[in-house]
Structure 1
Amino acid sequence: MLKLFSLSSSLSILFLASAHAESQVQLSHVPSQSQVEDFNEPRGASKGVEARPILVIASELIKYFEGWYPSAYDDPAAYCTIGYGHLIALQACASIDLGEFARPLSKGAGAALLEKDTRTARIAVQRYVKVDLSDEQFSALASFTFNVGKEKFADSTLLELVNDGDFDAAANQFGRWIKAKGKVLPGLKDRRACEAALFRGNLQSGKNSTFDRSDCAGLGVASGAGPVIDIFVGE
């Protein structure tokens, strides 16, 4: 009887640990809100507008935080996704015809998709920012906008401070956008810290032009920057 009880207890502990781990995984990734917005915009809305490129280190930063999945899967929002966070549809994979995405994606194809996916976010930064930006500043804002969405960026204190030319105060604003669905996410904290470091010109490529999270993660919210913000709510 004692052995049965011990086995049952162990299974219960394993189940709870598994559920906790699954919950943490679901909270670690937030779908690109810019892409979600794109599904609700007319096709070709930004047609004819050339998107300013971002730095390689910024592309590597986005790839790192989006994660790499060569096969189609349902993200925590039940959106069918593949590659570096590319949204195939705003519904589960099982409910659609995957078409070309029924087969695994190569990293080269995934990178090409990411370049296309970030275009509307990059164009939004070009549209809303009224001052000159360095490549580092532009790339950081593009990464931020790709994650939180174009509408949230347009209404942000971050954009207001950028347009005022107060870049130091603007850099401190990144660290406020670290909540999703009411929870502060470690992944968002690190992503915002890395974007702020890039904006300040303090993020350098590692070996083979790779992104190193340890160079910028964990810097946190600057004192006096303001209350934290949920990226699904905005300011």
Structure 2
Amino acid sequence: MGAAASAALATAFIGGWEGLRTEAYRDAVGVWTACYGETKGVAPGDSYSKAECDAMFALELRSYEAQLDRCLKADVPTGAKIAFLSWTYNVGAGAACRSTLVRKANAGDLVGACKELPRWNRAGGRVLRGLTNRRISERSMCLKAVNG
């Protein structure tokens, strides 16, 4: 699969989980958020067009992928990479790069890495149904890619 197709799949998958909200809102743990889960520089009363949100999202996904690529050295199939990028976009590159998931992937245990995803279903110390559902979906995509 080409880079453009992979980027389109990642954008659709991750954007579907993040959802688009053009007006600033507080997320589940009280952080000001807008667009597709953007938090950087978002303040109460901010609003964005869909085009602005799409542009920010594309830029952020490229940034998160570059950060993930610095620590994830394993060669992973496209579906696993999208699942890992979705998770990284949600939990942050620092947490991702320090995780057991990345250690397992880099050690060649891609199935084990995929199975780590459901452990990341909390925000503010609370299990959230939306995160649980997202992680199950990411794990499913990851395992399908790894197992062929």
Greater share of helix: 2
Alpha-carbon distance in 2 for matches of 1:169, 1:73: 36
Alpha-carbon distance in 1 for matches of 2:34, 2:63: 19
Is 1:58 the counterpart of 2:2 in the alignment? no
User: What aligned pairs does 1:138-149 form with structure 2 within 5 A after superposition?
Assistant: 138-149=81-92
The aligned amino acid for 1:93 is P
Deviation of 1:145 after TM superposition, in Å, equals 0.7
Q: Is the 8 A contact 2:68 2:88 kept in 1?
A: yes
**Seq. identity, %:** 28
* Correspondence for 1:128: 71
Structure 1 range deviating more: 193-202 or 110-119: 193-202
Is 1:118 the counterpart of 2:70 in the alignment? no
Residue ranges of structure 1 left out of the alignment (5+ in a row): 1-51, 203-235
- For normalisation by structure 1, the TM-score amounts to 0.54
Deviation of 1:88 after TM superposition, in Å, equals 4.8
The aligned amino acid for 2:104 is L
Residue in structure 2 matching 1:81, options 33, 45, 51: 33
- CA 1:69 to 1:194, structure 2 compared with 1: closer, same or farther past 3 Å? same
Residue in structure 2 matching 1:196, options 119, 122, 139: 139
* Correspondence for 1:173: 116
Deviation of 1:197 after TM superposition, in Å, equals 1.6
- CA 1:179 to 1:82, structure 2 compared with 1: closer, same or farther past 3 Å? closer
Alpha-carbon distance in 2 for matches of 1:89, 1:80: 9
Q: Highest CA radius of gyration, 1 or 2? A: 1
* Correspondence for 1:225: none
Query: Per-residue displacement from partner, 1:45-102 (whole Å, max 9, x unpaired)?
Result: xxxxxxx764433322221221211233344455443221222526x425xxx5xx4x
Report the count of equivalent residues.
142
- CA 1:70 to 1:143, structure 2 compared with 1: closer, same or farther past 3 Å? same
CA RMSD of aligned residues (A): 2.2
Q: Is the 8 A contact 2:68 2:85 kept in 1?
A: yes
Residue in structure 1 matching 2:49, options 102, 105, 112: 105
Residue ranges of structure 2 left out of the alignment (5+ in a row): none
Alpha-carbon distance in 1 for matches of 2:140, 2:79: 9
- CA 1:88 to 1:159, structure 2 compared with 1: closer, same or farther past 3 Å? closer
- 3-state SS of paired residue (1:81): strand
* Correspondence for 1:16: none
The aligned amino acid for 2:35 is G
- 3-state SS of paired residue (1:73): strand
Deviation of 1:150 after TM superposition, in Å, equals 0.9
- 3-state SS of paired residue (2:90): helix
Alpha-carbon distance in 2 for matches of 1:162, 1:62: 21
Alpha-carbon distance in 2 for matches of 1:181, 1:78: 9
The aligned amino acid for 1:111 is D
